[in-house]
Amino acid sequence: MSLKEYLIEGARELGIDISEKDSDLFFKYLENLKTWNDKINLTSIKNDREIIISHFLDSISIASLIEDGKKVLDIGSGAGFPGIPLKIVRRGLEETLLDSVNKKVSFMNDTIRKLELQDINAVWGRAEDLDNEVPRGSFDYVLTRAVGSMSDTLRLSSPYVSENGVIILMRGKRGSEEWNTAIEDIGNKVELVEFKDMTLPLSDLKRIILVLRPL
Ligand code: SAM
């Protein structure tokens, strides 16, 4: 299977059709990621197929939970995950990608420019800093993938959620245990809307996805 077929097949297993144009964008992203990764540390995963599974497919695995046209904040987006892959398959989203490391923000904005994506912007700052430029209370979806402990991430995310918005936490295989621990701490501050337990396509990698609404 070619790399392109691999991406298309993985996405198909997630219920997502990757168009010719989407596939070009994913491969431009892959090239840019590898170029920058030689200079700054963006990902420890170097193999193309592993990047496709662990970064691209993992990122778009939440697409079915997200309504197109809405406002998204990705906190601790790093090299753009999940925000940029999600934008490729949900082009109507309005996205802000926040990270505390300036070089990562430069990489994300360079990628956004090269892919010619609209209504998406990477911003430098810490989520807890009151003077960062990201507006509070205005996002339909606040996403985090692999950022800190669950309790800390929820505390960081909650101020940004709009009245009817939700937080989506993307965690690894220990996500259930993490939730059981976090619930003691923040269980009275959030409502669990959805709990998804999945294996990523073309792999045996387990993922836990939690959709939470701040109370
Ligand atoms: N979400 C990306 C992914 O899944 O590949 C990156 C995950 S990486 C483990 C965590 C990222 O969160 C880093 O890029 C780090 O700079 C950023 N980060 C950590 N704490 C943060 C904070 N308080 N505010 C904004 N970004 C933060």
Question: How far is Cα 113 from Cα 101, in angstroms, rounded to an integer?
Answer: 19
pLDDT at 64: 97
Taking CA atoms only, the protein residue closest to ligand 1 atom 4 is 145
- DSSP SS3 for 62: coil
Q: What residues are in contact with ligand 1 under a 6 Å CB criterion?
A: 75-79, 81, 98-101, 104, 126-128, 145-148, 156
pLDDT at 185: 86
Amino acid found at 180:
N
- Distance of CA 204 from the midpoint of ligand 1 (Å): 25
Q: What is the CATH number of the domain that holds 208?
A: 3.40.50.150
Per-residue pLDDT reduced to its tens digit, 30-70: 999 999 999 999 999 999 999 999 999 999 999 999 999 99
Residue 86 above 90 pLDDT?
Answer: yes
Full residue range of the structural domain in which residue 191 is found: 3-214
Taking CA atoms only, the protein residue closest to ligand 1 atom 14 is 78
pLDDT at 154: 94
If you search the block for the tokens 């398959």, which residue do you land on? 89
pLDDT at 186: 84
Contact 27/4 with Cβ under 8 angstroms? yes
Taking CA atoms only, the protein residue closest to ligand 1 atom 19 is 76
For residue 189, how many other CB atoms are within 10 A of its CB? Answer: 13
| Total domains present in the chain | 1
Query: How is residue 115 written in tokens?
Result: 């892919």
Query: How is residue 28 written in tokens?
Result: 């431009």
- Distance of CA 5 from the midpoint of ligand 1 (Å): 30
Per-residue pLDDT reduced to its tens digit, 96-141: 999 999 999 999 999 999 999 999 999 999 999 999 999 999 999 9
- Distance of CA 147 from the midpoint of ligand 1 (Å): 5
Helix (H) or strand (E) holding 4: helix 3-13
pLDDT at 187: 76
If you search the block for the tokens 């621990």, which residue do you land on? 181
pTM of the model: 0.97
